[in-house]
Structures are given as C-alpha cells and as structure tokens.
Chain A
C-alpha cells in the first residue's frame, strides 16, 4: 500500500477530539485560577497593607506553593488531566511541571537526578521567556524610548 493511501486510511479512523468542550473547561478553570489570584491580591493588599505590586508577588508565591504541594500530595495530575490548559497555562502549571520532574528524578540523586532534570519541562518556558522579554524590551526601547 502506498504511504499516502495508508495515511488516508489512518485519518478515516482518527477519533475527533472534543476541542470545544476542552476549551470551555480550560476557560472556566483557568478563569477560576485568575479569580483566586485576584482575591489573593485583594486579601494581601487589604489585610497586610501591601502595595498592589508586592501583593501580586505574594499571590504568585501562594499559587506556586499550593500547586507544588498538591503535586507532591499526588492529586494535582488528576486535576490537570481534567482542566488541561486551564491549569497548565497559569503559574500553577509552571510550578507543577517543576515539582513533578523533581519527584520523578529524586531517586537518581540530588545532583544527577533532581538537579539535572527538575527544569526538564520548565526549562523551555524559562529560556524562551527570557529571550522574548529581551526582544520585547528592545522593541519597547526603539518605539517608546525606554519609558
């Protein structure tokens, strides 16, 4: 059988992914994480009398802490399977990717395992985050004169 013909045959039996449903669930759960984040910002600035900048940092640390804790307790992966991008895209996903890799490679030692593999998934985000920040920084400098 020709390879092209075979690909057609495979496509005939490909299941349809429920994209609309997945997107809707991700929209709701991702939005919920956003709402929780905003409530935390309000909470910290009101009760701890922090500036909104500082309160944002506190909020992020809180979300990272709980995402990591839930990963370590072993049920955050089940939430991710359900919410998909709703939990992967916010900072919870970043924390989860690092904690899950850390747990996975702990047995191979602190240096050769945990240290070498903790950024296996998050490394990409950090690298391209820094690169794009650099590029956008330049664009901002050229267009807005660094303001």
Chain B
C-alpha cells in the first residue's frame, strides 16, 4: 500500500545521542549528547526515557510550538512494552499512539503522522523514537558487563532519542508518499545477523513502492535503508539484482553511516535500533534536502520482528520495512 501526500511537511527535528554516536562521523550535527550511558538517571531504562524526553523538548523549542499545539504524539522504542515511549508520553498531556515495528518504527510513525495531517484530522503531529544500547543488550542478549563475544555480522544498538514534528504548513522538506511494509519470512533465525533477516523486507518494500508509483529506481537521488549493516547492505544489492533486475546505485545504509566502522570496532557490522536511521536522516539527510544537495530521498527503515523468547524457541525471525519518500520543496 502506497499513499501519496500533498500537504505534509517536516517542521523541525531534534536528536540526542550517547557517547558512541558522538564519536561517529555525524558527531557535530546532533543537537545534544551525553558522555556516559546513565545521563544522571538511576537506571538504564530511565536513561532511555530521558533521551526521548530531551529530544521532544528540543524539537518543541526549535519549532516554537507548545505541547498543546501538538494534536497527536506517536512514539515507539525497543524496550519491553515500549515503556520508554509511554513514560515520555506521560509527561506531555498530548493524545498518544504507541507503535512498534522494531527498527522500522520511525517510518511507521512518520507514515501514520502524515496520514493524520493529510486527512486534516491533525495540524501538528510529533513522532519520536529512542533506543539505548545497554537496555537492548540486557533485554535481548547477555548482561552488559559480561561482554560476550559476538560474530562480525552482529550490529550495535544505537543510543539516542529523535523527534520530528510534522505539520500542514509549508517548510523546506515534505513527505511525498509512504509505503507500508508487508512482513517477510525467509526462514532466518540468527538474531546476530539482523541484516540477513531484514533484506527481503527492504527489497519488497522498495520494489512495491516503485511499482505502485510507476517510478524507476533512478528517480531517487538516494535510497536509504534503516540498519542492514555492512553485510546486509551487500546482500540487498545482490537481492535487488537477482530478484528484480535492479541496480542499486545511489544507495546507502544508515547503520553504516552512523558510526566510523574503521575506528569504532565495537559496533561490528554497524548501528541498529529504531533511533539509528532517525539519527542519520534528521541530522544529515534532511539538511541536504533543505540545501537541495539532495532532492528526492527514499527512506526505508527496516525492522526485525522477534522477542527473546521466540528466538530461544527457534521460531523464524520476520522482518518489515516501511518506506517514506522525502522531497525538498521548491
């Protein structure tokens, strides 16, 4: 399903990151960063909520809007029962939609928000995501202080919070269309190779988006996947070629762009987590769209859908990808 929008604009965005992301190549472009992983909070879980709350505060400041001007708040994260989002929402007094498609949450939120604005139900919608490396390690893997060795295909959950305010008033960048993903099952079971899990979803969504709108792959100046990592990125190129006969030329992956893979060995195959793609798009890609360095970007966030129990029960890991087409406004 692909929806076109005529009247949805990105007003402002804000990004808050932890120390590893600040060491990466996008370092100076983030709005705020923390030196440690607790941010003066008692627990890691509260620290993640703080990331989201900080980004919300910054986005509202930038947009000069008050929280009562926002008609709807949409948010999601990786924590059990998305509590990072619910605690952040609890401070706001705005109607709240909690959403989850793992690392594809951000584009799901943007697509939902855009639909609410296009249908004139809302004037301003705020979309937030967060993730915290140590919260995810604790929930999905081993205790953080254990430091169990992982294979090179493993990705590193990004620590950060990101917020975007969508509006019906003209700005420099607009959301042109959105394609909602279809869950894909390619019988993958390795949670330490999420790239291989998510490639079929990314490929399916990109292909459907282009077919639905009758566009060629070169229509976009850049196709950007969420967090496939260095190995997933190569698998996707191969997949697109063998399955659809498409060459991915103007293509990059947010997981690869967020960190300096040469010098930050701890991130292994690259970044992941709902906030990973949001951090790259808000801090880097939107700026390039504003200055018209890029004109059309297809942002395809990808998510692996599983929980720790289903993994141990050897169930297949499903994947999903939601795509958003971003355009610079003339």
Binding site for B on A (CB under 8 A): 1, 3, 6-7, 9-10, 12-15, 17, 22, 71, 74, 76-78, 80-81, 84, 96-97, 99-101, 103-105, 107, 120-121
Contacts and interface: CB of A to CB of B under 8 A. Distances in A.
B151 interface: yes
Contact of A121 (B42, B146, B186, B193): B146
A104 B143 contact: yes
A17 B243 contact: no
A100 B151 contact: no
Contacts of A121: 142-143, 146
Nearest to B145: A100
Interface centre among A10, A71, A101 (most CB of B within 10 A): A10
A120 B147 contact: no
Name the 4 nearest CB pairs between A and B, nearest first: A77-B147, A100-B145, A104-B143, A100-B143
A13 B275 CA distance: 26
Contacts of B260: none
Interface stretch (B63-71, B81-89, B101-109, B230-238): B230-238
A84 B149 contact: yes
Question: Could you tell me the dominant secondary structure of chain B's interface residues?
Answer: loop
Contacts of B234: 13
Given A77-B145, A101-B143, A121-B142, A9 B152 contact: no
B152 A80 contact: no
24 contacts: A1-B242, A1-B243, A3-B187, A6-B186, A6-B239, A7-B187, A9-B242, A10-B193, A10-B196, A12-B238, A13-B231, A13-B235, A13-B238, A15-B152, A74-B145, A76-B147, A78-B147, A100-B143, A101-B146, A103-B143, A103-B145, A104-B138, A107-B42, A107-B43
A101 B143 CA distance: 5
Contacts of A1: 186, 200, 239, 242-243
Contacts of B147: 76-78, 80-81, 100
B153 interface: yes
B144 interface: yes
Contact of A96 (B146, B187, B239, B243): B146
A17 B231 CA distance: 14
Contacts of B231: 13-15
B121 interface: no
Interface in B235-250: 235, 238-239, 242-243
A71 B145 contact: yes
Interface centre among B145, B187, B238 (most CB of A within 10 A): B145
Nearest to A118: B143
B153 A76 contact: no
A15 B145 contact: no
B233 to A, nearest CB: 9
A99 B145 contact: yes
Contacts of B148: 80
A15 B209 CA distance: 31
Contacts of A13: 231, 234-235, 238
A104 B196 CA distance: 30
Contacts of B145: 71, 74, 76-77, 99-100, 103-104
B43 to A, nearest CB: 5
B138 A80 contact: no
Nearest to A85: B149
Nearest to A5: B242
A15 to B, nearest CB: 4
A81 B149 contact: yes
Contacts of A15: 151-153, 231
Nearest to B235: A13
A131 to B, nearest CB: 20
A66 B42 CA distance: 27
A17 B238 contact: no
Nearest to A108: B43
A120 B143 contact: yes
